[in-house]
Structure 1
Amino acid sequence: MPVATRTTDTRRIILDTAQRIMARKGYSAVGINEVLAEAGIPKGSFYHYFASKDAFGEAILKSYFTDYLTDMDRVLARSGQSSAERLMAYWQQWRQTQSIEDCQGKCLAVKLGAEVADLSEPMRLALKEGTSAVVDRIEQTITSGLEDGSLSVDGEARDVAQALYDMWLGASIMAKIHRSPAPLDTATAATRKLLHL
């Protein structure tokens, strides 16, 4: 195997392992040694791939959002569905991924947002960039839905997209607090009202 491929694979293994652990435990509670041990990577290798834990955290979030947005694009590009159906399929997927494991969820934006925004400016900016890209896609789908007549909104598509994302983020946090999917069910009903479905 070429060295470049091994380097990319090893870096990806570290990032994927860290995402899984941090989705459960948060950022501050996870040490680099824990990630490397679970990944099966020698301890001395970390600084070959990342300059610091802060740079590591930024890389985790960027990697997470790259994967998240790819999956989101796949859901929102389904053929044979109206824009409203595709958008509701996205929210349904969100509900499913946030309801797993007693509502502990898998979303790093939910899990790490408040925790790291004050710890690290590069991590805050990675979260801002990633969440803005999510809202962009919601806005585009709402605009498409207005064009195909499958939904309607009161106000600007961007404002509604931002309100929906903010609501779902809050509902995900409340689902974690209550260990119940009820806040996500409420978000689903409110989403239908906002989109006049």
Structure 2
Amino acid sequence: MNTQTKDTRSHILEVGRSLIARQGYVGVGLSELLKAADVPKGSFYHYFQSKEAYGCALLENFVAQYQESLADTLGNAEQPARDRFLGYFEGWLAKQIGPSLQDRCLVVKLSAEVADLSPDMSRILQDGVSSIISSLTETLEQGITDGSIAPLNDPYGLARAIYYQWLGASLVAGLSHDDAPLKATMEATKQAVPAP
């Protein structure tokens, strides 16, 4: 793929992510996306076979970028694992209540919307969620080893439960336009992952 092709494709994905973060996947029409990205319809179909293929590419891009960003939080070996684990969720809290809709988690925004719409998009989101839960599990296990987290019976089960709790709190916070559910979940997370 040459640089121009990659830049145009990336530009369409970036513009679409911003629109979808505000309006949802179904709420963004192709003509609106093309106008915002300032690309002709033929260029869109050069890179993406359909809107669903575009949605898949958008989610694959989001999941890949998200995985890379975990290196700054969960993967930062200079900090004790408990600090990394809690730092990940403190970052989630900051982004979900921050002013930039584009910084918010697309898993939260799109999971219910695409579940019945596209099996391929659902699979990409589910694979991303599974990967995040695996990373959280590894961090809990590292915390037990480095002594920053008290012994846990089931690190995977705890990581999964906490992640699901954050997804739910994010949805409720979005509905209520109130950050109280997220702040309560942050406190519950701290209690669920005790220091020794």
| TM-score bracket, shorter-length normalisation | over 0.9
Tell me the equivalent position of 1:163.
161
Assess, with a 3 A threshold, how the Cα gap between structure 1 residues 168 and 153 changes in structure 2: closer, same or farther: farther
Instruction: Tell me the residue number matched to 1:193.
Output: 191
Q: State the Cα distance separating 1:73 from its structure 2 match.
A: 2.0
How far residue 180 of structure 1 moved from its aligned partner, in angstroms, is: 1.1
Q: Is the 8 A contact 1:104 1:176 kept in 2?
A: no
Gap regions ≥5 residues in structure 2: none
The answer on whether the counterparts of 1:102 and 1:179 sit within 8 Å (CA) in structure 2 is no
Q: Distance in 2 between matches of 1:112 and 1:153?
A: 35
Output the TM-score relative to the length of structure 1.
0.93
For residues 116-167 of structure 1, the C-alpha deviation after alignment (integer angstroms, 9 at most, x for no partner) is 0110010010011111111111011011001111113543111111001100
Go from structure 1 to structure 2 and tell me whether the alpha carbon gap of 1:103 and 1:191 turns closer, same or farther (over 3 Å shift). farther
* Equivalent of 2:42 in 37, 41, 44: 44
Contact in 2 for aligned 1:102/1:176 (Cα 8 Å): no
Q: Deviations over 1:59-98 (max 9, x none)?
A: 1111011111111222122243100001111111100000
Among 58, 69, 75, which residue is 2:56 paired with?
A: 58
SS at 2:76 equivalent: coil
* Aligned mates of 2:17, 2:153 — CA distance in 1: 37
**1:43, CA displacement in angstroms?**
2.2
Amino acid at match of 2:47: Y
Question: Who is 1:123 aligned against?
Answer: 121
Structure 1 residues 153 and 116 mapped into 2: Cα distance closer, same or farther (>3 Å)? farther
1:119 maps to amino acid: L
User: How has the CA–CA distance of structure 1 residues 140 and 118 changed in structure 2, closer, same or farther, with 3 Å as cutoff?
Assistant: same
1:44 Cα offset (Å): 1.8
Task: Name which of structure 1's ranges 175-184 and 151-160 shifts more when overlaid on structure 2.
Answer: 151-160
Aligned counterparts, 1:50-129, within 5 A:
50-101=48-99, 106-129=104-127
**2-side partners of 1:95 and 1:29: how far apart?**
25
Which whole-Å CA distance do the structure 1 matches of 2:104 and 2:53 have between them?
21
Q: Does the 8 A contact of 1:11 with 1:49 survive in 2? A: yes
Q: Aligned equivalents of 2:178 and 2:164: distance in 1?
A: 19
**Distance between the aligned counterparts of 1:32 and 1:83, measured in 2?**
44
Q: List 4+ stretches of structure 1 deviating above 3 A.
A: 101-105
Q: Scaled by the length of structure 2, what TM-score is found?
A: 0.94
Aligned residues: 195
Flag structure 1 segments of 5+ consecutive residues without an equivalent: none
Q: 1:104 to 1:65 in 2, by over 3 A?
A: closer
Q: C-alpha separation between the residues in 2 aligned to 1:174 and 1:104?
A: 18
- Of all paired residues, the percent bearing the same amino acid is 38
For residue 20 of structure 1, the aligned residue among 18, 30, 35 is 18
Using the TM superposition, give the Cα deviation of residue 38 of structure 1 relative to its aligned residue in structure 2, in angstroms. 1.1
